[in-house]
Amino acid sequence: MSFVSGLKCRECGTPYPAEALYVCDVCFGPLEVAYDLAAAKASLSRSSIESGPPSMWRYGALLPDPGDQPVDLGAGWTPLRRARRLGEALGVRELWLKDDTRNPTGSFKDRVVSVALSSARRLGFSTAAAASTGNLATSVAAHAAAIGWPSVILIPADLEKSKIAMTAIFGGTVLGVEGTYDDVNRLCVELVAEHPEWAFANVNLRPYYAEGSKTLAFEIAEQLGWRTPAQIVVPLASGSQLTKIAKGFREFIDLSLVEGTEPVYFGAQAAGCSPIARAFASGANVVRPERPNTIARSLAIGNPADGPFVLDELRATGGDCGSVPDDETLECIELLARTEGIFAETAGGVTIASLRQLIGRGAIDPERSIVAIISGHGLKTLDAVSATATFTRVITPSLTAAEAAIASTALVGAS
Ligand SMILES: *Cc1c(COP(=O)(O)O)cnc(C)c1O
Ligand SMILES: [Zn+2]
């Protein structure tokens, strides 16, 4: 059972029922889901959670009510891996990677979509929709297909080919919009007004959608043996993942389920789209929109909805925000692959490059535990690496040619 008590405004705190609402009538602020944590405390324990399913729905008590059954392709409960070789390369003592490449459609978006569409079905919707930088599109299309719903997906027309194919294959309506993600998002806000019967995962279902990211915090805490990490690095697009990871850790701390205090939060952005990093560095409370220009398309949101809330989390815990050029992103996709055997998309490269940058400038303490979120699979952004990740040598099918080629290349083994 779920301990949701309703919705409440993130700006002024006005309470609302857990219905299809997302904007505060009083102040136009965004709504979020609220829980009766006192009641949850009386019935929720480590062992009741441990006896749940090996998926994110083991934390169903602290998620929106999914109705009879969640819309579930198996999102979550991904590995938290101790990264000794990468940790050594970066000079840190205790590094962990949350490997969210291993979700059903290859990104962390499966967590938020599973919650959004479960809530949408409970609330009586029957069409799924989304404004997306790519990964949300794929996940909404897949989950909609699995429950027989039509889907309407809007993405920038110049997105990576692999992300377009991975979305279109599920048979929904996929509209390529000639513009940036921020243009796509503006258009979707207008579409919601015309089609209030469509469940836009990240617009009119946003309060429910966002809750899915809390499961990253819940899983990390449980997988560390019911303790919080000292520091965590999170890639930022709209900023929702980071703010809800923070909400998740706070709920677990309030429920006395974990040892330790809140982690210090660190954001990761590409230099070609770093409105939050810039606002943080300049001490501003407002985030000035910018026009994205980066290979990290999944993070290319120039006007991030959760930007000011992210700034609050970073400042309240003594965190910081990385901002890394695309060449460092590519270098760190390789570094991660070659040290840990994980192939990440560009967002993962941004996260590792930001981790390295933040260690370099003394913002991250190398002696204390660190978790980095690897949020999407490398097959989604193959084009980004295909120029360098290719044959060592092409040879004729003869033993002489093979031996000559092998002799002329330095064999790189495990070190
Ligand atoms: C969407 C996305 C993010 C960040 O999401 P927000 O919650 O909007 O900040 C990070 N990584 C990947 C791969 C994504 O697709
Ligand atoms: Zn309000």
Residue position matching structure tokens 């002799």: 407
Whether residue 415 is predicted with pLDDT greater than 50 in this model: the reply is no
Q: Report DSSP letters for 53-97, one per residue.
A: -SSGGGGGGGS---TTS---S------EEE-HHHHHHHT-S-EEE
Distances in Å between the Cα of 33 and the Cα atoms of 22, 111, 211 are: 10, 16, 7
Neighbours of 349 (CB within 10 A): 32
- What secondary structure letter does DSSP report for 377? B
Helix (H, G, I), strand (E, B) or coil at 286: coil
Q: Which amino acid is at 174?
A: V
Computed over every residue of the chain, the mean pLDDT equals: 96
Q: How many whole angstroms separate alpha carbon 172 and alpha carbon 153?
A: 7
Q: Is 55 exposed, middle or buried (0-12, 13-18, 19+ CB in 10 A)?
A: buried
Find out whether the beta carbon of 238 lies less than 6 Å from any atom of ligand 1.
Answer: yes
Nearest CA to ligand 1 atom 8: 238
From 298, 336, 342, 352, the mutation candidate for ligand 1 (largest count of ligand atoms within 8 A of CB) is: 298
Architecture of domain 4-72+109-209: 3-Layer(aba) Sandwich (3.40)
Neighbours of 47 (CB within 10 A): 7
Whether residue 412 is predicted with pLDDT greater than 70 in this model: the reply is no
Find out whether the beta carbon of 298 lies less than 6 Å from any atom of ligand 1.
Answer: yes
Whether residue 145 is predicted with pLDDT greater than 80 in this model: the reply is yes
Whether residue 414 is predicted with pLDDT greater than 70 in this model: the reply is no
Find out whether the beta carbon of 156 lies less than 6 Å from any atom of ligand 1.
Answer: no
Contact of 295 with 384, CB cutoff 8 Å: yes
What whole-number percentage of the chain has pLDDT above 70?
99
Find out whether the beta carbon of 346 lies less than 6 Å from any atom of ligand 1.
Answer: no
Whether residue 380 is predicted with pLDDT greater than 90 in this model: the reply is yes
Going by C-alpha positions, the residue among 101, 122, 126 that lies closest to residue 111 is: 101
Section 6-31 average pLDDT: 97
From 100, 105, 107, 208, the mutation candidate for ligand 1 (largest count of ligand atoms within 8 A of CB) is: 107
Helix H or strand E encompassing 10 = none
Find out whether the beta carbon of 308 lies less than 6 Å from any atom of ligand 1.
Answer: no
Q: Which two tokens stand for residue 296?
A: 């990290």
Neighbours of 93 (CB within 10 A): 12
CB proximity list for 299: less than 8 A, separation 6 or greater: 133, 235, 236, 237, 269, 270, 273, 346, 347, 350
Q: Which two tokens stand for residue 135?
A: 């990964």
What whole-number percentage of the chain has pLDDT above 90?
96
**Rg of the chain (C-alpha set):** 21
> Of 29-43, 243-257, 398-412, which range is least confident?
398-412
> Of 12-21, 177-186, 363-372, which range is least confident?
177-186
Q: How far is the CA of 240 from the centre of ligand 1 (A)?
A: 8
Which part of the chain is CATH 3.40.50.1100?
4-72+109-209, 80-106+213-385
Section 294-313 average pLDDT: 97
Q: How many whole angstroms separate alpha carbon 77 and alpha carbon 103?
A: 9
Residue position matching structure tokens 């590409």: 270
Distances in Å between the Cα of 228 and the Cα atoms of 37, 320, 369 are: 19, 19, 9
Q: Helix crossing, 214-223 with 240-254: angle to 10°? A: 50
Q: How many whole angstroms separate alpha carbon 175 and alpha carbon 68?
A: 32
Section 274-286 average pLDDT: 97
Section 272-296 average pLDDT: 97
pLDDT at 408: 87
Q: Which two tokens stand for residue 47?
A: 């062992």
Distances in Å between the Cα of 270 and the Cα atoms of 10, 22, 31, 201, 264 are: 27, 29, 28, 25, 20
Whether residue 185 is predicted with pLDDT greater than 50 in this model: the reply is yes
pLDDT at 50: 97
Going by C-alpha positions, the residue among 195, 174, 194, 68 that lies closest to residue 121 is: 68
The pLDDT tens digits for 73-119 are 999 999 999 999 999 999 999 999 999 999 999 999 999 999 999 99
Helix (H, G, I), strand (E, B) or coil at 3: coil
Find out whether the beta carbon of 339 lies less than 6 Å from any atom of ligand 1.
Answer: no
Q: Specify the CATH class of 80-106+213-385 in words.
A: alpha beta
Find out whether the beta carbon of 294 lies less than 6 Å from any atom of ligand 1.
Answer: no
Going by C-alpha positions, the residue among 146, 29, 68, 163 that lies closest to residue 106 is: 163
Section 159-173 average pLDDT: 95
Handedness of CA 188, 189, 195, 199 (dihedral sign): positive
Beta bridge partners of 373: 98
pTM recorded for the entire structure: 0.96
pLDDT at 214: 98
Section 308-336 average pLDDT: 98
pLDDT at 409: 83
β-pairing verdict for 95-99 and 80-82: antiparallel
Contact of 15 with 34, CB cutoff 8 Å: yes
CB proximity list for 271: less than 8 A, separation 6 or greater: 294, 323, 324, 325, 326
Q: How far is the CA of 349 from the centre of ligand 2 (A)?
A: 37
Section 141-148 average pLDDT: 98
CB proximity list for 113: less than 8 A, separation 6 or greater: 71, 75, 136, 139, 140, 143, 201, 209, 212
> Of 87-91, 177-181, 268-272, which range is least confident?
177-181
